[in-house]
Structure 1
Amino acid sequence: MTGAPSDPDLIRLPWDVPLENWPEHHLVTLPRGISRHIVRFARLSGRVYAIKEISERYAKREYQLLWDLSRLDAPAVEPVAVVTGRRDAAGEPLDSALITRHLQFSLPYRAMLSGTLRPDTLTRLLDALAVLLVRLHLAGFYWGDCSLSNTLFRRDAGAFAAYLVDAETGELHPMLSEGQRNHDIEVAHINIYGEMLDLEAGGFLHSSIDPLAFAEQLCRRYHRLWKELMEEEIVEDVEWHLIDQRIRRLNSLGFDVAEMMVRRKAGTARLIVRPKVVDAGHHQRRLLRLTGLDVEENQARRLLNDLDSFRVAKGLRHEDEAIVAHRWLAEIFQPTVKSIPPELRGKLEPAQLFHEVLDHRWFMSESAGRDVGLDAALRSYIDTVLVFKPDEKAILGGDTATDTVSP
């Protein structure tokens, strides 16, 4: 076993048995997409690991790629270890195994699309997948096999965040050419269209969803986002406020502008401006710096909005931001999360739970015509909403003999 396994029980798993024959007491059932390889989920010490059986060459290659993506802070699953040199009881060689940490509170896109899906939810899924592709391409990563089955999503306030879960066909370069990017998008288009047709043929796809239109819409959203991030913009000297507007648009998409390249166009008074270095996680980094909370981008934005409202309500406009954040964390966020009964805490991660309580407070206040307060909203949310939610943490239960995605 090569890697950084934090759980010694990983070594004690039955590596001398083919993965498809592992005893059920080692496994848990989680929804997953279609895979060319045998994939199983094992629970050890309260953690869940995804284990994929694959040849030694590709296991080592994918392990290294996932580590490279982790160092680049790209949205991908975390690699744990590679197991090589496996042999069964008769001494016959077995394929190697790649171990990754299962992303808590996540589901495959394929599971999300199987069943009833509202149009606005579909739009948010497309946006999340487009952002994932853009972030990977900005990092110089060519995926080569983007598909619904190779992508995980997590709730991110009112939207979703997407993660790469399979890097087997990937390549990491200093920078991708336009041809490489376009080819990657074409592969994604073909794969996703095929999977949508498969869902449609199985009766799992909502009748309002057109498979071809879905795949084509993803491509359009990707190109629109890439253009917003990378295109040069020509402005007059007196229109510098347009650059500020563009930076704000990029921030609203979750990207920071770390550096701007500005050059004057010869013979005119116009300036050509282009974001030179674009990074993701504008609100994430601010919240992490102020509070230590490491959450998704839209969740961070919502929590920061509440922090700013707290600052105004407490008359702390001129107080140091770090001091205000510490008070908000101690007086608002932590007491809210701790008020959730222990048996209900596995339903949502803390940041998503806090976001939903804020939403519930807004709806209650609108109905009452006044601010009902956080405490009343929290009690109502627990009693009328949270208790009826499915457990979104890692363990979903079910029969481990099947790996098909249910609607």
Structure 2
Amino acid sequence: ENDLEVARVNIAGELLDLEAGGRLDENADAVDVSNRIVAQYRTLWKELTGTEQFDVKERWRINDRVERLNALGFDIEELSIHTTEGGSQVRIQPKVVDAGHHQRRLLRLTGIDAGENQARRLLNDLDSYRARNGRDLLDEEMVAHEWVSRVFEPVIRSIPRDLRGRLEPAEVFHELLEHRWFMSQEEERSVSLPEATTAYINDVLRHRRDERLLINPPTSSMTLPIPVVDDAVP
């Protein structure tokens, strides 16, 4: 708090000096800018360190928190859920990660090769699964294997045969999780994975073009008969 107050005063002072020298935008308020910087820092601090408490039926809010952290450039190092009389309390420990971190971690844990954004969302679901089911103390690779066999693979197998070529499995699961998140936000409840899967198949996947057709479009004969021109005079 002392550091924040020192920063607030110093920033305002420096901006006032610029204003006095005619080097600050005339519409800028030095004190307001300084206050907003400190307020933004407090918001970031709360997002990174704050705990949340909610009803068991509102666990979809975990995804909201994780999405906000991802947007700020942070990954989840640790996620734990504690059930109390007043509801469930979520504790999330963020960390900064380098480029390609999610892709490498997902491949190492599950053998699934996916793009960075896809991998991040799949890992978020894996970490949530681990916290929801009390697997925090188990080896990460063991939990990942369990998640693949109990969550990822059943979803992929549930896709109708005629739709399986529309997207790669990792992209299907990525889009499904995103669809589930939007459904939960809109309905303000935790939408189950089977319910979200049915809605995703009917509302999204059936309207997707087959990736195989986009990459290797079917060819057909376009050869037309070429008339023979006889130069000889009849």
- TM-score, reference length from structure 2: 0.51
Structure 1 match to 2:110: 291
Structure 2 match to 1:362: 181
Structure 2 match to 1:260: none
Answer yes or no: is 1:345 the counterpart of 2:160: no
Aligned mates of 1:357, 1:325 — CA distance in 2: 19
* Deviations 1:71-113 (CA, angstroms, capped at 9, x unpaired): xxxxxxxxxxxxxxxxxxxxxxxxxxxxxxxxxxxxxxxxxxx
Q: What are the residue-to-residue correspondences of 1:125-144 with 2, within 5 Å?
A: none
SS at match of 2:211: coil
Cα offset, 1:398, TM superposition: 5.9
Structure 2 match to 1:395: 216
Task: Kindly provide the amino acid, as one letter, of the partner of residue 298 in structure 1.
Answer: N
Aligned mates of 2:129, 2:221 — CA distance in 1: 47
- Whichever of the two has the greater Rg, that structure is 2
Q: 2:139 aligns with which of 296, 320, 335?
A: 320
Cα offset, 1:396, TM superposition: 3.0
Cα offset, 1:330, TM superposition: 0.5
Cα offset, 1:383, TM superposition: 0.9
Aligned mates of 2:132, 2:217 — CA distance in 1: 41
Cα distance, 1:400–1:381 mapped onto 2, change above 3 Å: farther
Structure 2 match to 1:131: none
Task: Kindly provide the amino acid, as one letter, of the partner of residue 170 in structure 2.
Answer: A
Task: Kindly provide the amino acid, as one letter, of the partner of residue 145 in structure 2.
Answer: H
Answer yes or no: is 1:379 the counterpart of 2:192: no
Cα offset, 1:282, TM superposition: 1.8
Structure 2 match to 1:329: 148
Any stretches of 5+ residues in structure 2 without a counterpart? 1-93, 223-234
Q: Which has the higher contact order (CA 8 A, sep 6+)?
A: 1
Aligned mates of 1:361, 1:371 — CA distance in 2: 9
Structure 2 match to 1:311: 130
Aligned mates of 2:176, 2:221 — CA distance in 1: 34
Aligned mates of 2:209, 2:172 — CA distance in 1: 13
- TM-score, reference length from structure 1: 0.30
Bigger mean CA offset, 281-290 vs 301-310: 281-290
Percent identity at matched positions? 52
Aligned mates of 1:372, 1:352 — CA distance in 2: 20
* Deviations 1:139-183 (CA, angstroms, capped at 9, x unpaired): xxxxxxxxxxxxxxxxxxxxxxxxxxxxxxxxxxxxxxxxxxxxx
Q: Which has the higher strand share?
A: 1
Answer yes or no: is 1:282 the counterpart of 2:101: yes
Q: Which runs of 4+ in 1 moved over 2 A?
A: 393-401
Any stretches of 5+ residues in structure 1 without a counterpart? 1-244, 255-280, 402-407
Q: Which has the higher helix share?
A: 2
Task: Kindly provide the amino acid, as one letter, of the partner of residue 395 in structure 1.
Answer: N
Cα offset, 1:400, TM superposition: 7.4
* Deviations 1:346-389 (CA, angstroms, capped at 9, x unpaired): 11100010011001111111122101110000001111111111
Q: What are the residue-to-residue correspondences of 1:117-132 with 2, within 5 Å?
A: none
